[in-house]
Amino acid sequence: MNSAPRTQPVDPQGKAPASGVRVPIYMDNSATTRCDPRVVEAMLPFFATDFGNAASRNHAFGWRAEAAIDVAREQVAALIGAAPKEIVFVSGSTEANNLAIKGVAEMYAGKGRHFISCVTEHKAVIDPLKHLEQMPYAGGPGAEVTFLCVDRQGHVDLEALRAAIRDDTVLVSLMAANNETGTLHPIEAIGRICKERGVLFHTDATQAAGRIELDVEAQGIDLLSLSAHKFYGPKGVGALYVRRKSPRVRLAPLLDGGGHERGMRSGTLNVPGIVGMGEAARLARDGFATEVAHLRTLRDRLEQGILRLAVGAVVNGDPSARLPHLSNVSFPYVEGESLIMGIKDVAVSSGSACTSASLEPSYVLKSLGLGDELAHSSIRFSLGRFNTEAEVDHVIGIVTREVTRLREMSPLWEMFQDGVDLSKVKWNVH
């Protein structure tokens, strides 16, 4: 999902607060989050004071950097129930997903070249898989990938997953939580199926971290991707969890070089970034219950307010198995682009993605069975740690007023209100 184009510059201090609420209001926390001030504080010494290279083994500058990395590695591991040695620091989830998928492909080419994933995955999973389909690798042909379909709520059929696993399947990659709809995959059940069949299980947990419980042991996960900027850490740093026993997962690296991160990710470690990610993970773990309750309260208030005032609006995804901070709502009989333009004071994502020339409806929403029109008229609200109840109430007002205004100009809305079943209308197309 792409954020809607904004004509007005973002002023972090906000405009004069008429209603006590500063605009623009940020509700796009699935795109990125504001760095928590405590994270920034933790990072600062590592730019100009403790600036050593964590790989410098023979002086105190290096030792201090290394000690800070060790702490961060423990903090990130603790967030997902892993051991510190199983954490490989990378630049973000795009890299973590690429390393998991391409690293397994090359290392396990002797076992097979078949992968299983899903049509609603993030592009950072789909595109590396498509790359493997196109490119011969490890002295053999390209990969074969089965992309499972989803139902109306965004769920994969576990029997279809079971049936798709073959003797030459090397990896199943299914995300923990979807970034557009918030739908949660039953990762524990998926982990069990993969284990039964001796197939590695990778999950993109970028949206899940800090918002749902993650435990690589209980959930049978072999590889897991994280990105700090999605949970109040800095951009440009992430981690891949790589299981070390039962089974020990081996990966071919994407980058060759100094052999950092046990040979899986060469390159001087981003010490301030990693320290920030560690602190963000600690905050996510320590404040988990409070944070989830806060997010759920705000999200439910927002959603109920919108559904009450914008009659006919529909929520996408699975309401009973969904991320606590996210609400994806379609507004029928409203032209999507006009809606996004009309609510400039609210920073959200739309159900349209910018391609080179045009606005394309979201492939995720289309996979759920939404038509192009409805996908275009969808909005993803994703709340965060720093949102308030007053902001939610302000946003309900802005959005529902605009929906009402646009519907008043829509002949389709008029017909719908007159009881015309629009799916049965025979349109006169010239």
Ligand X SMILES: *Cc1c(COP(=O)(O)O)cnc(C)c1O
**Which residues form the catalytic set?**
354
Closest CB 279 distance from ligand X, rounded Å: 17
CA-closest candidate to residue 36, choices 234, 227, 211 = 234
User: Residue 369 region, left (φ>0) first, then alpha (ψ -120 to 50), else beta?
Assistant: left
Closest CB 427 distance from ligand X, rounded Å: 38
Closest CB 374 distance from ligand X, rounded Å: 22
Antiparallel, parallel or unpaired: β 87-90 and 238-242: antiparallel
Nearer to ligand X, 91 or 330 (CB): 91
CA dihedral 9, 1, 332, 391 (to 10 degrees): -50
Give the residue ranges of DSSP H helices in 108-209: 123-134, 158-164, 187-196
Nearer to ligand X, 93 or 352 (CB): 93
Tokens of 251: 């990966």
Q: Which residue is nearest to ligand X (CB)?
A: 92
Closest CB 356 distance from ligand X, rounded Å: 21
CA–CA dist 249, 357 (Å, integer): 42
Q: How far is CA 344 from the centre of its chain?
A: 23
CA-closest candidate to residue 1, choices 373, 385, 376, 343 = 376
Closest CB 154 distance from ligand X, rounded Å: 13
Q: Do the beta carbons of residue 152 and residue 96 sit within 8 Å?
A: no
CA-closest candidate to residue 154, choices 27, 301, 328 = 328
Place of tokens 């007002």: 397
Give the residue ranges of DSSP H helices in 226-268: none
Nearer to ligand X, 175 or 348 (CB): 175
Nearer to ligand X, 93 or 316 (CB): 93
Closest CB 184 distance from ligand X, rounded Å: 12
Residues of this chain that interact with ligand X (CB under 6 A) are: 92-94, 122, 124, 175, 179, 204, 206-207, 227, 230, 238
- 3-class state of residue 343 by DSSP: coil
Nearer to ligand X, 95 or 279 (CB): 95
CA–CA dist 177, 406 (Å, integer): 32
Closest CB 100 distance from ligand X, rounded Å: 12
* Number of residues that make up the chain: 430
Nearer to ligand X, 23 or 145 (CB): 145
Rounded to 5°, the CA angle 346-119-353 comes to 30
Closest CB 230 distance from ligand X, rounded Å: 6
The sign of the dihedral angle between the CA atoms of 369, 371, 376, 378 is negative
CA–CA dist 91, 270 (Å, integer): 9
Tokens of 75: 């903090």
Nearer to ligand X, 380 or 394 (CB): 380
Burial class (CB in 10 A: 0-12, 13-18, 19+), 312: middle
Nearer to ligand X, 75 or 91 (CB): 91
